[in-house]
A and B are shown apart, each in its own frame.
Chain A
Amino acid sequence: MSSGQTVLVAHKSKLYALDATTFQSKWTFPNSTGDKISPTALYGTPAVDAGIVFIPAYNGKLYAVDLNTGKSKWASPFNTGEKLVGGVLATGGKVYFGSSNSKVYALNGANGEKLWSYTTGKEVWSTPVLSGTTLLVTSLDGSLYGLDAASGEKLWSFKTAAGLAASPALDPSGNTVYVAGFDSRLRAIDTSTHQERWAASGDNWFWGTPLVAGGAVFAGALDNKIYAFDTSTGDAHWSRPFEADAPVRAAVVMAGNVVLAVDRKGHVYALSPEDGSMSPGKALNLNAKVTADPLVLSNGQVLISTTGGEMIRIDPTRLEIVSRTKLGS
């Protein structure tokens, strides 16, 4: 993720804070000189609020470090006891995240003190989103929960047919939330009535967070396809889904005027949001495995981190590699 002049990229058990212009390393977490921290691995996307970076780690702990220095901000990390796979939502001095212990937590961002927790039926591997004062969070128990962001009280829930690992995506109006899951369905749920507006099917699980843009909702699936549905009806927005070369685990993003998607084998596709046609006519092959979500930088370029620890900058309009850097080198 990026925050002002800093880009944060995780690889294995290390988080790299890089200068957004030069891509030079500012600091790493844990640092190489002192901290006796062993985060095991970093899966979830970190978040920044009030100059603090919140880092969810696979060892079950949430760390808070200074955005400029990388020094710990809390006396000790918050330990949930089970692996953290999803990302963090940090806003208004509060931190929201889910854990594999099935709980959703709200902490005080300044000191890591627990404000509340809510227990779902299974692991929470997604990143919560805020819709007004309601925290929306999905769980592997197959439910979308609407929790009161202040107290953690359950306001409503919507049950689907299988697990939900993808984070929910909110319509810009805030009236509809889109959830995609292991039942191979993408659903539009009304945030006021909590009823399903429509559901559209894919041929395998949806894992990446859907993208809502220009009256359509886009989602990659593990059946090697990228789908586009009309936000109001759920009808196919394209004449047929786009066929990728491999499962699409990472979220699709809007980069300039193209929908950019990366499949698991590292093929990058720039698609027209209108008809799903490929912009330069062919995919860009990174020759690397990719599962992390691409990041759109402030200059319009897209940053893709590979599972092998490479950081690749792409020009989405021409679909060309701008730079390729090995993390830690």
Chain B
Amino acid sequence: MDALQLIGWLWTHGLVIPMTNFLVLIARLSFGYFGVAIIIFTLVTRAATWPLTRQQLQATKAMQAAQPRIQAIQKTYKDPKRRSEETMKVYRELGVNPLGCVWPMLIQFPIWIALYQSIRFTLGVTPENLLDLSQRLYPVGYLRTAVPLENHFLWLDLAKPDTTLIMAVLVGGSAWIQQKMATPTPGANVDPQQAQMNQTMLFMMPLMFAFFTLQFPSGLALYWVSTNVISIVLQYFYMGRKMNWRQIFTISPVPAPAVQKPQERGPKPSSKPSEPEESDSEADVIDEAPRRRRRRRGRRRR
């Protein structure tokens, strides 16, 4: 058995088959309703990955708390390298690992793929799938007599994509709220490029999942909605119920990219890399805009 075959064997026998049997077991306990089984499965998965989720929430909380200092750094330093170094210094001081937010996301990917395969087998999308399922169920009468399962849940046929767009909206909407809650509120002095990137991510990910919902079995979409709702609830309670809902449901405007004055382009020859630089040109330009507006308003009054 070569390495690839071993990985394939481990994937099938270590993840897909146990997951399939577990889903069939929960479905049997839920009177054959596969939709209920997916929701219970989501709760169990989230409970099992709680240590990683807690790490993610801690990182999110700490990063939100560090925002005033990060913004100050962004205002103070013009050089991206220096800015990054100072930011990392703050994270180190606070004991925050920015990658702590990534692990729970990464662990979700194999779960999604294995769940997709399990749904195809379990709900018998084709007769061949059901034939394969017979070879994957453990030799326990309680599991083997559970099939076929009820693949209808609410308005959904869990084996097929939802054509009503309701699931796409629910998946996209819940992903957006969850991400908005996790994204630190941008301050006035935030780097416009960073803000632009955050905004793009805020829309791209939910849109991507909404698109996937239209392609994949709605059972998988039900998992996505359930896991997003659980994340929202966990985030709400973990953040000490101090969520600013108005802020979450507000689409924050992205600061316009600042235009540098020709004479301010490039580092000042006199500035020393080891010393903190003075207020940089970008910050000045951003701050200049409201000043100009105030001047114009004053002229009009006069």
Chain A residues at the B interface, C-beta cutoff of 8 Å:
43, 85, 122-123, 125, 140, 161-163, 165, 182-184, 203-205, 207, 222, 247, 249, 264, 291
Contacts and interface: CB of A to CB of B under 8 A. Distances in A.
18 contacts: A43-B127, A125-B127, A140-B148, A162-B145, A163-B148, A165-B127, A182-B134, A182-B145, A184-B141, A184-B145, A203-B139, A204-B134, A204-B139, A205-B144, A222-B131, A247-B131, A247-B135, A249-B131
Contacts of A182: 134, 144-145, 147-148
Contacts of A161: 145
Given A85-B127, A125-B127, A291-B128, A222 B135 contact: yes
A162 B148 CA distance: 7
Contacts of B145: 161-162, 182-184
A125 B148 CA distance: 12
A162 B134 contact: no
Contacts of B141: 184
B92 to A, nearest CB: 58
Contacts of B131: 207, 222, 247, 249, 264, 291
B146 interface: yes
A161 B32 CA distance: 13
Closest 7 CB pairs of A and B: A162-B145, A222-B134, A163-B148, A183-B145, A140-B148, A205-B134, A161-B145
A203 B139 CA distance: 8
B146 A162 contact: yes
Interface secondary structure of A, over-half rule: loop
A134 B299 CA distance: 96
Interface string B123-158: 000011011001100010100111110000000000
Contacts of B130: 165
Contact of A163 (B128, B135, B139, B147): B147
A291 B145 CA distance: 22
A222 B136 CA distance: 11
Interface secondary structure of B, over-half rule: helix
A198 B141 CA distance: 19
Nearest to B127: A85
A222 B133 CA distance: 10
Contacts of B128: 291
B135 A162 contact: no
Interface residues of B, number: 13
B127 A162 contact: no
Given A125-B127, A291-B128, A247 B134 contact: yes
Contacts of B144: 162, 182-184, 204-205
Nearest to A289: B128
A85 B127 CA distance: 8
Given A43-B127, A85-B127, A291-B128, A123 B135 contact: no
A144 to B, nearest CB: 16
A138 to B, nearest CB: 13
A182 B141 CA distance: 10
A171 to B, nearest CB: 26
A43 B131 CA distance: 14
A104 B139 CA distance: 32
A163 B32 CA distance: 12
A201 to B, nearest CB: 10
A208 B145 CA distance: 17
Contact of B147 (A125, A162, A264, A291): A162
Contacts of B134: 182, 204-205, 207, 222, 247
A122 B148 contact: yes
Contacts of A140: 148
Q: Which of A43, A140, A165, A205 has the most CB of B within 10 A?
A: A205
Contacts of A85: 127
A280 B131 CA distance: 30
B186 to A, nearest CB: 51
A125 B147 CA distance: 14
Contacts of A163: 147-148
Given A163-B147, A204-B144, 8 more contacts: A162-B146, A182-B147, A184-B141, A222-B135, A247-B131, A247-B134, A247-B135, A249-B131
A184 B131 CA distance: 13
A43 B126 CA distance: 10
A161 B147 CA distance: 10
Nearest to A203: B139
B152 to A, nearest CB: 10
Nearest to B128: A291
A182 B133 CA distance: 11
Interface in B204-244: none
Nearest to A125: B127
A140 B127 CA distance: 12
A53 B141 CA distance: 41
A249 B130 CA distance: 11
A203 B128 CA distance: 19
A1 B184 CA distance: 68
A222 B130 CA distance: 11
